[in-house]
Structure 1
Amino acid sequence: MTLAIPVPATIAQRFAAWLAQNPVQADDGSLVTLDANAPGSLEQVLAGVTALEMAGVYRYVRDYCLELMATTATENGLLPQHAIQWSTPRIPAQAAVGNVLMTLPATAASVVVPINQTLTVDGSISWLVTAETTVASGATTSVPVQASATGATGDLAAGTSLTAVTPIAGVTAIVVDASGIAGGAAIEAVEAWRARILEAVRNPPGGGTVSDYERWTKAAGASYVNVIGQWLGAGTVGIVVAMAGRIAPTTAELAQISRYLVDDSRRVVRANIILLPATIVTQNVTLSITPDTVENRADVQAALAAYFNGLGIGDAIYHSQLEAAVASVTGVTSNLVLVPAANVSMAGNQMAALGTILWQASS
C-alpha cells in the first residue's frame, strides 16, 4: 500500500481547522478564534508556510524509506550501501579483450613483443599487448591484447587489420583472430546491478551452491549462466556462459571469467570448474497470422524476440508458449505456428536464439 502524501493545500486546511477548534485566551480573559482562512491574515501566512515545509518533510520521509529497500533504492542514494552490505559491487566499465595474429616472414629474425606494445586501426583508439610474446621467424603467432578504453568502441571484428604505433621489426601483418576482440561494455546498468543485489539477498553465500556460481560468473562479466553439477563426474562443476546479446563468449572472455572464478577469495575447495561457452542454437519460426498486416508482423516479431530473450541456457522452446507470445499481440485475432511444430529441447550447454521468421498466408 502506497502512503498518500497530502498536498500543501490540504495541510493548510488542517492547520486552519485545528486553529478554529482551539480558541486562544486573550489578555482580557476572552476566547479568540483564529481564522487561518482570512485573506492576508498572519494565521493564513503561517498556515501556508507550515504546509509547504510539512509537504517537504512528507516527501523526504517517503524517499528515505524507499532508499531503505534494495528494490527501490537509487543509484545516488543508498543502493551503493546495499551493494556493500551484500558484497555485490557494481561491475565497472569493461575494456574489450582478445587476440591478434602477428606474422613474421622466414627472412626475419624472431622478435619479442613487449607488454603494452600499442596497436591501432585509425589512431582514434588503441589496443595494448597484455603478455610478452615471442613471434617466431616464419610463423604466425597469437598475441593477447586489451583495448586502452572501456566500452564497445574497443570491440573489433575478426580479420580487422591493425598497425603497431612503434614498429615491430619484421612483422608484416597484424590482424584480429577469428574470435574477434570483444567484451567492451559500459558500467553496469543500475537495474542489472539491483537484480544482482536482490539475488544476493535472496540467495546468500552457501559455500558453492548453484546460486554462488551464478553470482560469481555474472560478476565476472557473463550475462547468462547455467551451472551443471558433476559435469565430468564427482567433484566437477560445469559452468556454461553466454554474453550480452545472446552470443557465445570469445576465448579471451572465457579466460577472463576463468581467472575471476579461480581467485582464492571465492574458489570452492575440491570443486573443479569446467568453463564452457554456450552453443547458440538459432531457431527459425514459420507462422501465419490473421489479420496479416505490416503492423501486426512488427509486433509479432517484437513479441517473439522478447520470448527468446527470456530463455536461459538449457531452456527448452515450448510450442504453446510461442503461440501465446504471438497471441499476446492485440491486433492478432488468430495464429498458427507451423515451425517448430513441437517443443524443442536444449542441451545444458545450448541457448536458443530467434532466427528468421517466415510468414505464410492464412488458410
Structure 2
Amino acid sequence: MGFQRPSLAELMARVDQDLLSRLSRLSRLPGAEAALATRLTQALATSQAGVTHGLYGYLQWLERQLFPETCDDDLLHLHSAGVPRRQPAKAGGAVSFEGSDDAVIVAGTRLQLDDQEYETTEEAVIAGGTASADVVALEAGSAGDQAAGAALRLVSPIPGVSGGAVVGADGLQGGADLEAAGSWRDRILLRRARVPRGGAEGDWEGWALEVPGVTRAWEDPLGMGPGSVVVRVMADDASDGPLPSQQLLDAVKAYIEARKNVQAQVYVSAPNTKAFQPQLIVTPDTQEVRNAAAQALADLVEREGEPGGTLLISRIRAAISLAPGVEDYDLQAPTADVTHAAGELPIWGGVTWVQS
C-alpha cells in the first residue's frame, strides 16, 4: 500500500494524544486546572499539526516535481534535456511601396497594422512608381502573420512615399508563439519514449515537432518508395493555418536534414485534408449545448485524426455523450467509422444541425 498523507484532523488527534500521554500527571490536577491544561494541549496540538501538515504538503509537492508527467509548468525545464521549448518567432515577408521615383525607404522604417508593428530590413528606392522591401515584425508571435494584400501604414511619413505599403503575394509568414507548456510536456514525454537514433522510427516526427510553428506531425516511412521518408505537418496555431506555409515546410525539411544520419530522401508536406462535418441533433437543443458538443467533436478530430487513419464511430459518440449539458443526441451522420486514404487527414468542418 502506498504512502497516505495524514489529514490535518488526524495529525491534531495524534499530537493531542501524544501530549496527554507524556503529561499524564495533568489528569491528577483539580477539575478547573485539568480543563485548562487540556485546552492548552489542544492548542499546542493544533499549532504543531498545522506546521506538520504543511511539511507533508511540501513533500508531496516535491514528489510531483520529480517527474515530467506531474511537475509544475515552470519547472519543466528541469526535465527537458535535449527537448528545448519552441521559442516565439517573428513574422516577415515582402511588402510593396508606391510613390515618386527616387524616394528612399531606409532600413528600419516602421509600419503598423492594428497593434502589430514592422520594420524594413533593407533600404529600398522607388523606381517606376513602386519599390519592394522585406519587413519583419518587431514582436514575435503568430499575430504578426498577415495575408497577402493587407495594408500597412507608415508610422512616420516619408516624403515622396504614399501612406503605407501592401503585403506581397506570399503574405507575412513565420510568426510563432511561445510553445504551450502542455505541448512541450508532451514532446518531453515523447522524447523519453523514443530516444533519437539518427533516423529511426519516431525520430522524424520528433524533429518536425521541434520546429517553431509546427503543432502536429506524422512520419510515413517509404512513403515515396524505397529509401524515402514522408513527413507531414500541421500548423494549427498559425493565423492562416491549419495548413503549413511553404516557408514552414522548408524550415522543417532543413531542420531534419541537419540531424539525420541515414541517407533517406526526406519529403516534407502538408496532408491532404478532408472536412469532417457531422449531422447532429442534441437535447436540450440550446446554443450552449450545441457549442459544447461541437467543441468536443473538434477536439476529438484534432486529437485523434491522423493521415490515413480512422475516426472510430464509438469515439465520436463518446465525445458527444461527454460534452457538458448533453442529455441525449441523435447522430445522423456519420453512422460508421470514418476512414481516410493514405496521406489524407480529417479536419474540423463544423456541425450541420438538424432540427428535431
TM-score by length of 2: 0.77
1:267 matched to 2:260: yes
Letter in 1 for 2:221: G
Q: 1:337 to 1:36 in 2, by over 3 A?
A: farther
Aligned to 1:100: 94
- Partners of 2:350 and 2:312 lie apart in 1 by 17
Q: 1:13 to 1:291 in 2, by over 3 A?
A: closer
Q: Superposition RMSD on alpha carbons, in Å?
A: 4.1
- Partners of 1:36 and 1:10 lie apart in 2 by 22
Cα deviation for residue 126 of structure 1 reads 2.9
1:175 matched to 2:166: yes
Aligned to 2:233: 241
Counterpart of 2:141 (choices 147, 151, 164) is 151
Q: 1:7 to 1:360 in 2, by over 3 A?
A: closer
Cα deviation for residue 211 of structure 1 reads 1.9
- Partners of 2:115 and 2:332 lie apart in 1 by 48
- Which runs of 5 or more structure 2 residues have no equivalent in the other structure? none
Aligned to 2:184: 193
Aligned to 2:68: 70
Cα deviation for residue 282 of structure 1 reads 2.3
SS of 2:171's equivalent in the other structure is: coil
Q: 1:255 to 1:113 in 2, by over 3 A?
A: farther
**Partners of 2:124 and 2:132 within 8 A in 1:** no
- Partners of 1:261 and 1:166 lie apart in 2 by 44
**Partners of 1:327 and 1:335 within 8 A in 2:** no
SS of 2:138's equivalent in the other structure is: strand
Cα deviation for residue 170 of structure 1 reads 8.3
1:82 matched to 2:75: no
Counterpart of 2:349 (choices 342, 351, 355) is 355
Identity %: 26
Q: 1:91 to 1:334 in 2, by over 3 A?
A: closer
Aligned to 2:196: 205
SS of 2:351's equivalent in the other structure is: strand
Aligned to 2:55: 57
- Partners of 1:243 and 1:136 lie apart in 2 by 36
Q: 1:243 to 1:136 in 2, by over 3 A?
A: same
5 Å-filtered alignment, 1:93-172, equals: 93-97=88-92, 99-102=93-96, 117-122=108-113, 124-128=115-119, 145-162=135-152
- Partners of 2:72 and 2:227 lie apart in 1 by 41
**1:325-360 C-alpha deviation (Å, 9 max, x unpaired):** 44445645341423x565543344432222243233
Q: 1:300 to 1:129 in 2, by over 3 A?
A: same
1:14 matched to 2:8: no
**Partners of 1:281 and 1:351 within 8 A in 2:** yes
1:309 matched to 2:305: no
Cα deviation for residue 9 of structure 1 reads 4.5
**Partners of 1:37 and 1:44 within 8 A in 2:** no
Q: 1:51 to 1:294 in 2, by over 3 A?
A: closer
Cα deviation for residue 81 of structure 1 reads 1.0
Q: 1:224 to 1:141 in 2, by over 3 A?
A: farther
Letter in 1 for 2:236: A
Query: Would you say how many aligned residue pairs link Structure 1 and Structure 2?
Result: 345
- Partners of 1:332 and 1:45 lie apart in 2 by 51
**Partners of 2:104 and 2:123 within 8 A in 1:** yes
Letter in 2 for 1:234: P
Letter in 1 for 2:354: Q
Q: 1:124 to 1:205 in 2, by over 3 A?
A: same
**1:142-187 C-alpha deviation (Å, 9 max, x unpaired):** 8654312012331222210235669699899842234432443432
**Partners of 1:150 and 1:185 within 8 A in 2:** yes
**Partners of 1:119 and 1:162 within 8 A in 2:** no
Cα deviation for residue 133 of structure 1 reads 9.4
SS of 1:198's equivalent in the other structure is: helix
Q: 1:46 to 1:356 in 2, by over 3 A?
A: closer
TM-score by length of 1: 0.76
5 Å-filtered alignment, 1:210-289, equals: 210-221=201-212, 222-245=214-237, 247-263=242-258, 266-289=259-282
Aligned to 1:337: 332
Report runs of 4+ in structure 1 exceeding 6 Å deviation. 111-114, 132-142, 168-173
- Partners of 1:61 and 1:287 lie apart in 2 by 49
